[in-house]
Structure formats: structure tokens, C-alpha cells
Amino acid sequence: MVIIVKEKNLISDKFDITFKDLTREKYLYYVNNREMEHQIGRLFNMNKIFEQIKKDNIPGDIIEFGVYQGFSLSWLARFRDLHKLNNRKIIGIDSFEGLPITSGPWVKHTFGDSTEVIVNKTLKQQLTNIQQRNIIIIKAWFDDLALEKKLQTETNSLALIHIDCDLKVSLQSIFNLIELYLKGIQFLLFDDWGICDEEIPLGFNEWESSHSFIKSEIIYKTFLTRYYKIYSYT
């Protein structure tokens, strides 16, 4: 079992990552620095997925489960703008109360130091007015019975699903929510794959084995992330 506990102050919080850092050369330069390999690599690969969505005209909106303080949400908006996909919604869902339980290396309420106000402040500081458009924040636990209806009022199609939830139990709730959206080609991005084998990897493997109509392909990875292209045959 691999267990790596995230530091409170990530390198991404200490240094300003810009578009000029998102190159293969910069990624390879940091390949032996586990944290920077993750921070540069996940964004570099995310950008390539947006390129593919644009090139292949894959329909659907963008959703993130686990917004925290809005770092990756702001990058999703930057990539959406870069590839002229601003007609797509970006939906961010978070309880803003931290992790729901203690499990494995994770402690209940970790990452609870955020609010919708903090996220909106991040977006305002990091994005232009145009980039801030079409971003919806929903405050809810992933297993909230009312969340499914809220989500259905916002979107009927998803192209990119970014998951930053850390826990298997949270992932199971997410999979229940997105069941109705599994059709055609989509991208399923896991930010915390490499933290603990018994959380996100196990949760995904169990889900995939119970969904024979899903074919998955790993397209990009860093030490801590796995980005999949999934094909649904329903």
C-alpha cells in the first residue's frame, strides 16, 4: 500500500505556476521532485485533454468534485478560455467542510479551511472577467440527495470530470451521481490517485469491474494523478 500525506503548504501555493511552465521540458526538469512533478504534470496533461476536447468536438460541460480553495478550478477556466470553449459550463461541487470521515491516512475535516467566499476570491484574483463567466459553485456533500436534482438543472452532458475527493467513500457517491452522464467519450481525471492504494485506486477498480459497458484507457499520469479516457457503450 502506498501512502503519501499531502503537505499543508503545497509548492503550488508557494510559487506562481504560469502557462510558460506547462511544457514537457519543464516537466522533465522536475521529474525527480515529486511535488513539482505533480503540480506541473497534472496541469500540462489537463491542457492536452482540453486540446483533444476541442479538436474532436467532444460535447459536454466540465465538472470538479472537490473544489477546496479554487486552485484547479481556476486552471480549468483558463484552459477552457485558451481553447475557446467558453460556452461550456464549469461546475464546482464541495461541502466546504473538509473530508467527511477519517480513513487511511486521511483525517476527518481536513481541507475544511475553505468557503465559497474564498473560492470566489481566488477566481476573481486569478481570472479575467470573461474567464469567470459560466462557473457555477454548488455547496453540498456528494451524497446529498438533493444534489442530483441540482446537477440535472445545470447540465445534461459532461465532457470532463475532475475528481479531487481523496476518499473511496466520496468517490462512490460521485460515481452514483455521474451514472446518468456516462455516454460516448469522456475524460475522467483523478487528482489523488497516488496517495493511498485503498482509497481512490480501489474505488475506481471496483466501479470499473461492475460496469461492463465502460472501457477505460489511461492517457496521462504523474506520480499522484491518473487521467482516463472512458468509452461508454449504453
Q: Is the pLDDT of residue 2 over 50?
A: no
Overall pTM > 0.85: yes
Q: Say if 177 falls within a structural domain.
A: yes
Q: Say if 99 falls within a structural domain.
A: yes
Instruction: State pLDDT tens for residues 174-210.
Output: 999 999 999 999 999 999 899 999 999 999 999 999 9
Between CA 234 and CA 229 the distance in angstroms is: 16
Q: Say if 100 falls within a structural domain.
A: yes
How sure is the predictor about 15, in pLDDT bands with cuts at 50, 70 and 90? low
Backbone angles phi, psi at 165, to 5 degrees: -120, -10
Q: Say if 51 falls within a structural domain.
A: yes
Q: Helices 168-178 and 147-154 sit at what angle, rounded to 10 degrees?
A: 50
Q: Say if 17 falls within a structural domain.
A: no
Decide: helix, strand or coil at residue 44: helix
- Hunting for cell 496517495 — which residue is that? 195
**Given this model, what pLDDT does residue 80 score?**
98
Q: Which helix (H) or strand (E) holds 226?
A: strand 226-232
Q: Say if 11 falls within a structural domain.
A: no
Q: Say if 57 falls within a structural domain.
A: yes
| CATH number of residue 146's parent domain | 3.40.50.150
Tell which residue, 97, 89, 44, 41, has the closest CA to residue 67. Answer: 97
C-alpha distances (whole Å) from 46 to each of 17, 81, 161 are 14, 13, 11
> What is the pLDDT of the chain when averaged over all its residues?
92
Give the domain extent around 178. 23-232
180 bridge partner residues: none
- Which distant-in-sequence residues (6+ apart) come within 8 Å of 219 by Cβ? 45, 49, 187, 227, 228, 229
Instruction: State pLDDT tens for residues 124-165.
Output: 999 999 999 999 999 999 999 999 999 999 999 999 999 999
Mean pLDDT, to the nearest integer, of 1-17? 46
Total structural domains in the chain? 1
**Given this model, what pLDDT does residue 34 score?**
86
